[in-house]
Each structure stands twice: as structure tokens, then as C-alpha cells.
Structure 1
Amino acid sequence: PEPVKEYLKHQKTLKAPADYIVFKRWDCLEEGEKPQVIIFFASPDVLSGLFTLASFDEPKPYGVIAPFCAGCGSIVDVPYRETKSERPRAVLGMFDVSARPYVPAGVLTFAIPWPKFVRMVDNMEESFLITKSWNKVRNRIKRNPQ
């Protein structure tokens, strides 16, 4: 349909940087490996923490974006492109209705470009993560794991 053609006119083709993309669980990374993007499949409570931490050191309220795209675009294409920006943003995703059947209900993705992830980790000890409010949410997460 016409709206799709119009949408695609504004999309840039991404030249893959390699022949393959490798997805690894965090606990399978080897020392010294630096992933390009960290992807969380998370519940709303976990997302609230990730969202807040991703926005913690941002001068503007746009440290996280939720672009209209395919499910794979929200965990690969858009976050990879963000790694190249001066101030990379995290990507909230997996809203694509064709991708939703493949993830649990109540779960979305939060993809973080590596440079932003490093900043988030550096900010943890000074952030909301040390507050009583977050402790209440954290306890709820423990009681209701996904």
C-alpha cells in the first residue's frame, strides 16, 4: 500500500558490517568481548528501571526512543545505528504485531548500544537504584519473575 511505500522512502539501507551477526547471552561473553548492543527482554518493572537509568545522565528527555519498525529493527537495526551517534539512545521495542507472538505476553525489549550501556553501569551507584522506591520495585520483581 501507499503508506508503506512512503515509509520506506525515508528508510536508509544498512550495510551489514560483517557476514554474520552473533547473539550471545551475557553469561557466555568472554573476557574482553565488547558487544555492540545489549538486548533485554523485560517486564514493565524491569523496563522502568532500565528506562530510568538510560535517562539518568541525559540533558534532554530523549535517552530512550521507541521508533516504528519491525521487531528485528528494534533489537538490531536501530540500536546498531545508534552506536554510531554522538549520544547513543536506548531503544524500546518489540511492538511489531507480527513479532509479538514470539515473545511472552508482558515482555518488551530494551536494546542499549554498548557506549550507552557502559555509561549506565558507571551511573548505577549514584542513581535511583539506591533509593527506597526502587527497592520496593526490585522486591516486586523478585516476587514475580518472568
Structure 2
Amino acid sequence: MDLQLKDKFAALWKKYFYNAELPITFYYTDEEGHAELVKPGSVPRCIIGALSSVRKGKSSCFNIESVGCFGGKRYLGFAEKIRPNFEYFLSCGIPGELEGERYKKSPELVKEWIKKAPVFKAPARYAVFKRWDKLEESDAPEVVIFFAQPDVLSGLFTLANFDMAEQNGVIAPMGSGCSTIVQYPYLEKDSGHPRGVIGMFDVSARPYVPENVLTFAVPVNRFTTMVENMEESFLITGSWQAVQKRIKQEKREN
């Protein structure tokens, strides 16, 4: 980890976003000891629920046994297998056998959606999650993840688009909560123009975050550029100062 980048972002975050929640980061490694390994069954099955403690400052390391749900294993790259009858699970279900989530209109539509969905294999045995202020020189974060309220999210969204000519410098793909903070932003790192990813629209994952929070995740190569742009962007204008006041107020009220 570039400790100068760590300190620079921390200072600028406090300057422009006051005490808004710090982001968490994640990366893959085959090395043990970067964080405590999560024991099977010791955290919520949903990876979003399991990350609640990371947001509070407890670093965690996951392997394939740590993750309790099929989706989490798949979207962290630990397994390609989909749960049995997934096309029914995501749509109408099977009467008397399987309750459907009804996120897609039909099993056939789910099958078509799966064909277009990205798949990747984790490059190492462990996925390490750490809050930004807990990073050490030996860490190598690959994705930065914000759990953000609307005003903070607006700042991140605008900053991500600041130096891009295309209309979609940020995307909001349909997917599970964990896919939008791990899989999609991780794959963006190898793009010629890495984009930010807004997520946490997954209805099943919503109970694990506050009602006024979504996520913004971005590969660290793109994040570094965003940090470099902060002090010449809209963040130094009166328009942002008006929003800053609300961010400060929101933090006090919470």
C-alpha cells in the first residue's frame, strides 16, 4: 500500500466530506496473516452482513469456506457453480418446493441474463477486507468500496465522471449486493477506462445496510486518479460547500 496515498486521501476526505464513513477495501492474496480468517458460520450468510464489522474497523479475511451462500461464493470468484434451480429461485419459484425472489419475470429470462453475466475466478485463496484507515504497507488493495448516503454518493459519482468524456463513467448493473462491490469493480480494473459501480439495490441485501445507504465501488487504479483530481474539481466550489453543510448535519444527526 502506498502510505502517502493513504494519508493524502484521508486528509482530503475529511476536508471535503467531513466525518462521512471511510471506505473499506478488498484484495486477493495467497498469504495468511493480513487479517483474521472468518470461520464458517461465525458471520451472517450474506457477505454484506458479514462486512458490517469491517465497516466498524475490524479487518476480515474470507476463503471459500467462510462464505455461506452460493451467490457470495460465485461473486467473490471462489466458485462458478450456481445454486440448483437458480432460474426459478430468481423468478417465480417452484410451487411447494422453492420460493421465488421474483427479481426476474420468468425462468427463461433468468437463463438469458446468466449468459450475459460476467464470471471470474478468484486469483488467490483469500479475499481480505479492511477499512481505509486500517491499511498497512503490506496490503495491496484492489477495490475501494464506499457505503454512502445520497449527498456523499453524489460527490463520488461526480468526481468519477470529472475527467471522462463518455456518458457512463459510473455504471449500475443489476446484481447481488456482493457482485456490485466485488465482482464488477474488480473486473473494471482491467478495462481501458475503469468505471465506478453504484450498487446495493439488491432487495435481499438491503436489510444489512441503513435505509439511506447505497454503495459506490471503484478499482484502486481509478480511485487513485479520483484522489489526484479532488482539489481541482467541483469540490472546491460553493456548490459543493452547500452540500457539505448537509453532510456535516447528517453525521451529527446520526
Using the size of structure 2 for normalisation, the TM-score is: 0.56
Give the one of 70, 93, 96 matched to 2:202: 96
Give the one of 142, 145, 149 matched to 1:43: 149
Which aligned pairs between 1:57-136 and structure 2 lie closer than 5 A? Answer: 57-136=163-242
Matches of 2:191 and 2:222, distance apart in 1: 10
Contact 1:34 1:114 in 2 (8 A): no
Give the one of 117, 124, 133 matched to 1:27: 133
Unaligned segments of structure 1, at least 5 residues? none
1:134 is displaced (CA, Å) by: 0.4
Matches of 1:17 and 1:32, distance apart in 2: 18
Matches of 1:34 and 1:20, distance apart in 2: 13
Matches of 1:98 and 1:130, distance apart in 2: 38
Describe the SS at the equivalent of 1:76: helix
1:121 is displaced (CA, Å) by: 0.5
Contact 1:37 1:114 in 2 (8 A): yes
Matches of 1:123 and 1:33, distance apart in 2: 24
- Tell me: higher relative CO, structure 1 or 2? Use CA pairs within 8 A at least 6 residues apart: 1
* 2:111 alignment partner in structure 1: 5
Matches of 2:138 and 2:129, distance apart in 1: 16
Matches of 1:63 and 1:141, distance apart in 2: 24
Give the one of 97, 120, 136 matched to 1:14: 120
Superposition RMSD on alpha carbons, in Å?
Answer: 1.1
Matches of 1:120 and 1:11, distance apart in 2: 27
Matches of 1:15 and 1:63, distance apart in 2: 25
Describe the SS at the equivalent of 2:128: coil
1:32 is displaced (CA, Å) by: 6.1
Describe the SS at the equivalent of 1:79: helix
Describe the SS at the equivalent of 2:239: helix
**Number of residue equivalences:** 146
Worse-matched range after superposition: 10-19 or 107-116? 10-19
Structure 1 or 2, whichever has the larger Rg, is: 2
Percentage of identical aligned residues = 62
- Runs of 4 or more consecutive aligned structure 1 residues displaced over 6 Å after TM superposition: none
